[in-house]
Chain A
Amino acid sequence: MLILTCPNCGIAADETELHADGQAHITRHGAGASDDDLEEYLFMRNNPKGVHFERWRHVYGCGKWFHAARCTMTLEVFGTYPAQTLEPPKDLVAKIKKKRPDWEGFVK
């Protein structure tokens, strides 16, 4: 039963207010994409044991999508940030690195 803070409305939202939707920062490959790129976009997922960047929507709240960095082994939430970005904020990455020195860093 997770709690994630919605970066849009600032509420520490209960999981029941939220909708989870998998890996964040996936590049859309549309018309003209190669077969490999299309497959990567539609199907291939990092699925890490550890730090995971993922998409959530505050569906029974403000309705906004946001991103979270969360550990899939302990469910610790390192931080949340707006969805309108191509990569996680640098300070968040630094914070995670500090907590998890063995972490390989953000990989798109």
Chain B
Amino acid sequence: MKRYSAFAIAREAARYHTGWERAWRSPEPKSHYDVIIIGAGGHGLATAYYLGKNYGITNVAVIEKGWLGGGNTGRNTTIIRSNYLQDPSAAIYEKARSLYETMSQDLNYNVMFSPRGVIMLAQTEHEIRGYQRTAHANALQGVKTEWIGPERVKQLVPIIELSGPRYPVLGGLWQSRGGTARHDAVAWGYARACSDMGMDIIQQCEVTGIDKSGGNVTGIQTTKGAIKCNKLGMVVAGNSGHLADMAGFRLPLESVALQALVSEPIKPCMDVVVMANTVHGYMSQSDKGEMVIGGGTDGFNNYTQRGSFHHLEETVRALIETFPMISRLKMLRHWGGIVDVTGDRSPIIGTTPVGNCYINCGWGTGGFKAIPGSGWAMAEVIATGEPQGLAAEFGLNRFQEGRFIDESVAAGVAH
């Protein structure tokens, strides 16, 4: 692989950039791999990457029915944070955040990780207590967050309205090393690095069946033929139920639409990411200058990548209350993605009832920020065959045991 650098660009510029090589190869599938990962989104590619990097397993294929990075990796609001309350979540998200810090250098691909800071606003007394609790937990978990008062919020976000008529801003939970990254680049960077390790990324290849023998996976059937494998990892978000069905087990998942929108680009006016959970909205400004806005999920099962307009109305209203100046900006584009949501809204990483078959799914609305940590954890599970390390608590068995990882503790609770 030719390394990327300013010098490489200068060298290529002299020959009008005709010399750049492919970022990743586009091979035909081989007949057998040690590991097949289904799904070339961020999580699938990261899993493959850490299988190679951490365990030296490089006889790996990543199978993708569409185009790599074409699912939720490329359609989210790119927020990265690890200020989670529960231990297992804080551990995996913080691992992910720390891997984001060095990802550009690790992959030799600029993913534009921008640790500009994330504020979660507290707008009720209840939220204050909730975030103070998180701040305490984070301090012990090694996640650097702090509770800040309204004056500091205003200092960090000059365009915010502190004393809105409905919900005043009472303070916030501040994670200064949270931020954003360029979502497509994460998938592309991993794909390039995987390809460079000799892994095969096979796009436009749909899985049509899963071969088993004696309760163990032996390979898959695809639109490009049968491929054998020793181990199989399913990392396909909203399509997990469909694949699990083929493999013969059930999942505690429902797929719903999550929407986002961007404004037209304007000059920099907000340097941090702001999340306002009481009014349901979050906003950051991309490097291009667009205000990137997201809200809550739709209520019904949906695979169309379209949501309902009234959810956008609610989100925009909430954010105009919080940032009155955006009223005169224009919405450029809105879109939806399909998120797979579990019973406790935390992901599933681990073994399945089928032997040699592993699953990583259920990231719901929070998947992008987890990509490197998720890949790291999933690679460990696949390589060792055991649900251990960061993944230990995220197994499928937790639902039967009633051992939830519930991050929604600050939401929807009465006085």
Contacts and interface: CB of A to CB of B under 8 A. Distances in A.
Interface of A: 1-2, 15-16, 19-23, 35-36, 38-40, 42-49, 52, 54, 70, 72-75
Contacts of B114: none
A36 B249 CA distance: 13
Interface string B36-71: 000000000000000000000000000000000000
Given A22-B254, A39-B400, A49-B242, 11 more contacts: A2-B300, A15-B308, A20-B299, A20-B300, A21-B299, A44-B251, A47-B255, A70-B300, A72-B301, A72-B302, A72-B303
A81 B299 CA distance: 19
Contacts of A42: 343, 399
Contacts of A70: 300
B250 interface: yes
Nearest to B255: A47
Contact of B300 (A46, A48, A49, A54): A54
B252 interface: yes
28 contacts: A1-B309, A1-B310, A2-B300, A2-B308, A19-B299, A20-B298, A20-B300, A23-B254, A36-B400, A38-B400, A39-B399, A40-B250, A42-B343, A43-B399, A44-B250, A44-B252, A45-B252, A45-B253, A47-B251, A47-B253, A47-B255, A48-B241, A49-B242, A49-B303, A54-B300, A54-B301, A72-B255, A72-B304
A102 B145 CA distance: 53
A-B pairs with lowest CB-CB distance, top 4: A43-B252, A20-B299, A20-B300, A47-B241
Interface in B282-321: 298-304, 308-310
B310 A16 contact: yes
Nearest to A52: B301
A49 B251 CA distance: 14
A42 B398 CA distance: 12
A5 B112 CA distance: 48
Contacts, number: 63
A13 to B, nearest CB: 13
Nearest to B249: A44
B303 A15 contact: no
In this complex, which of A20, A43, A47, A49 has the most chain B Cβ atoms within 10 angstroms of its Cβ? A47
A22 B341 CA distance: 12
A97 B343 CA distance: 31
Dominant secondary structure at the B interface: mixed
In this complex, which of B239, B252, B253, B300 has the most chain A Cβ atoms within 10 angstroms of its Cβ? B300
Interface in B235-251: 239, 241-242, 250-251
A69 to B, nearest CB: 12
A75 B255 contact: no
A54 B343 CA distance: 17
Contacts of B301: 22-23, 47, 52, 54, 72
Contacts of A21: 299
Interface string B343-376: 1000000000000000000000000000000000
Contacts of B303: 49, 72-73
B362 to A, nearest CB: 11
Nearest to A50: B303
A19 B310 CA distance: 13
A1 B254 contact: no
Contacts of A74: 304
A72 B342 CA distance: 18
A53 to B, nearest CB: 10
A38 B399 CA distance: 10
Contacts of B250: 40, 44
B273 to A, nearest CB: 29
Contacts of B302: 72, 75
Nearest to A40: B250
B254 to A, nearest CB: 5
Given A44-B251, A45-B253, A49-B242, A75 B400 contact: no
A5 to B, nearest CB: 15
A75 B299 CA distance: 13
A15 B313 CA distance: 14
A20 B307 CA distance: 14
A43 B343 contact: yes
Nearest to B313: A16
A36 B353 CA distance: 13
B310 A15 contact: yes
In this complex, which of B239, B254, B255, B343 has the most chain A Cβ atoms within 10 angstroms of its Cβ? B254
A42 B342 CA distance: 11
